[in-house]
């Protein structure tokens, strides 16, 4: 490999959309298999086989640590995460090696807000029980529904507490307007735009919000401060009719404590797009009728995934041109 070789960009798994804008810069783009490398040793082997690499496009399940960076080789200039959250990246290790880290904000906002509402509605109106009831012939066997069968939780006018008042939190809150829900928000800094129309939201501490709200939805990043932010003590502060939704990162909730809270009726129901140890649910979770589950698919609509690829291309192109990329993670 000589200094005149074209830059090499490695994408660790196939994504919708085109990497042609990077190839048009004269770069050699290598794309991993459709299912990526769930096994980190296989991922490192793939990187080593393609080293030296100038930029890696990583996925949220790739652990970007010293071993990953070593495997990519000493020419690495950037890691662009195909995600907004970058809790999978050791940013300190990247900084030590002067490797720029970027992410793909904006593209995931609407899709993740949609999956949040999918789960909120499903958990409140008992979709995890109702769908199998119809499919497995329970309805046909039972006959017409009694007026007290499978009663759900009403949503309109109920209070919604958003933990993490950023892009996705805002999109979730805006979608609640049709339901006329008072909005509470928790974030480290005050957000005046949340306190103005149309949301007219009230800033609360996390514990105040958990005590008051009927629906709690998590939208903060996962980091040392937010790991197990929702634990057994906090679950105990919630209303027994409350519904907890998590589309951020699984480890923000102590999942074993959540299983207990759902079993014992401490809270009514939950909706989870993310798990603490993906793709493995905590023992007992999938046996519970009062939890709606999706497999970390917040941004999973073709428009948004293609938009993420576009944003990746913009960041890699800027790096190749020695310019500041549009979405560095600081």
Put the strands of the sheet holding 55-58 in their side by side order: 28-31, 8-11, 55-58, 78-81, 100-102
CB of 229 to ligand NAP, least distance (A): 7
- Rounded distance between C-alpha atoms, residue 123 and residue 244, angstroms: 9
Q: Does 227 qualify as catalytic in the annotation?
A: no
Nearer to ligand NAP, 158 or 305 (CB): 305
Nearer to ligand NAP, 18 or 205 (CB): 205
CB of 279 to ligand NAP, least distance (A): 13
Q: Does 268 qualify as catalytic in the annotation?
A: no
- Rounded distance between C-alpha atoms, residue 9 and residue 320, angstroms: 10
Nearer to ligand NAP, 46 or 86 (CB): 86
CB of 187 to ligand NAP, least distance (A): 4
> 23-56: string of b/e by CB count within 10 Å (b at 16+)?
eebebebbebeeebbeeeeebbebbeebbebbbb
Instruction: Please tell me which residue in 195, 208, 260, 278 is annotated as part of the active site.
Output: 278
Nearer to ligand NAP, 30 or 297 (CB): 297
Nearer to ligand NAP, 100 or 299 (CB): 299
Under the rule (CB under 6 A), what is the footprint of ligand NAP? 84-85, 105, 108-109, 112, 163-169, 186-189, 219-222, 225-226, 247-249, 273-274, 296, 298-299
Residue nearest to ligand NAP (CB): 166
E strands, the chain, are 8-11, 28-31, 55-58, 78-81, 100-102, 160-163, 183-186, 202-203, 215-218, 243-246, 269-272, 291-293
- Rounded distance between C-alpha atoms, residue 171 and residue 126, angstroms: 24
- Rounded distance between C-alpha atoms, residue 326 and residue 119, angstroms: 32
Contact 121, 131 (CB under 8 A): no
Q: How many other CB atoms sit within 10 Å of the CB of residue 144? A: 7
Instruction: Please tell me which residue in 249, 276, 305, 314 is annotated as part of the active site.
Output: 249
DSSP character at residue 291: E
Q: Does 278 qualify as catalytic in the annotation?
A: yes
Whose structure tokens read 């892009």?
A: 167
Instruction: Please tell me which residue in 161, 296, 305, 314 is annotated as part of the active site.
Output: 296
List beta partners, residue 260.
none
- Rounded distance between C-alpha atoms, residue 57 and residue 53, angstroms: 11
CB of 298 to ligand NAP, least distance (A): 2
CB of 125 to ligand NAP, least distance (A): 21
Nearer to ligand NAP, 274 or 318 (CB): 274
CB of 111 to ligand NAP, least distance (A): 7
- Rounded distance between C-alpha atoms, residue 245 and residue 254, angstroms: 13
Known catalytic residues?
249, 278, 296
């Amino acid at each position: 490999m000589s200094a005149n070789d074209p830059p090499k960009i490695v994408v660790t798994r196939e994504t919708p959309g085109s990497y042609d804008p990077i190839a048009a810069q004269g770069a050699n783009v290598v794309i991993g298999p459709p299912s990526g490398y769930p096994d980190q040793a296989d991922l490192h082997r793939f990187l080593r086989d393609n080293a030296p690499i100038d930029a890696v496009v990583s996925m949220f399940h790739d652990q970007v640590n010293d071993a990953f960076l070593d495997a990519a080789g000493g020419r690495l200039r950037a890691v662009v995460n195909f995600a907004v959250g970058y809790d999978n990246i050791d940013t300190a290790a990247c900084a030590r090696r002067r490797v720029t880290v970027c992410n793909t904000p904006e593209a995931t906002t609407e899709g993740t807000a949609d999956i949040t509402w999918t789960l909120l509605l499903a958990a409140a109106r008992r979709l995890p029980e109702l769908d199998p009831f119809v499919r497995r012939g329970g309805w046909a066997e039972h006959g017409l529904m009694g007026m007290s069968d499978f009663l759900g939780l009403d949503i309109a006018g109920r209070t919604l507490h958003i933990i993490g008042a950023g892009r996705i939190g805002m999109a979730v809150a805006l979608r609640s307007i049709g339901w006329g829900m008072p909005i509470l928000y928790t974030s480290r800094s005050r957000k005046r735009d949340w306190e103005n129309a149309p949301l007219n939201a009230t800033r609360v501490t996390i514990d105040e919000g958990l005590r008051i709200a009927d629906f709690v939805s998590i939208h903060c990043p996962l980091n040392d401060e937010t790991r197990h932010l929702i634990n057994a003590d906090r679950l105990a502060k919630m209303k027994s009719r409350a519904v907890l939704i998590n589309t951020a990162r699984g480890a923000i909730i102590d999942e074993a404590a959540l299983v207990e809270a759902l079993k014992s009726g401490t809270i009514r129901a939950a909706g989870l797009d993310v798990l603490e140890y993906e793709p493995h649910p905590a023992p007992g979770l999938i046996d519970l009728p009062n939890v709606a589950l999706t497999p970390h698919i917040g941004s999973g609509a073709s428009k948004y995934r293609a938009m993420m690829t576009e944003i990746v291309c913009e960041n890699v192109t800027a790096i190749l041109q020695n310019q500041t990329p549009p979405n560095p993670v600081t």
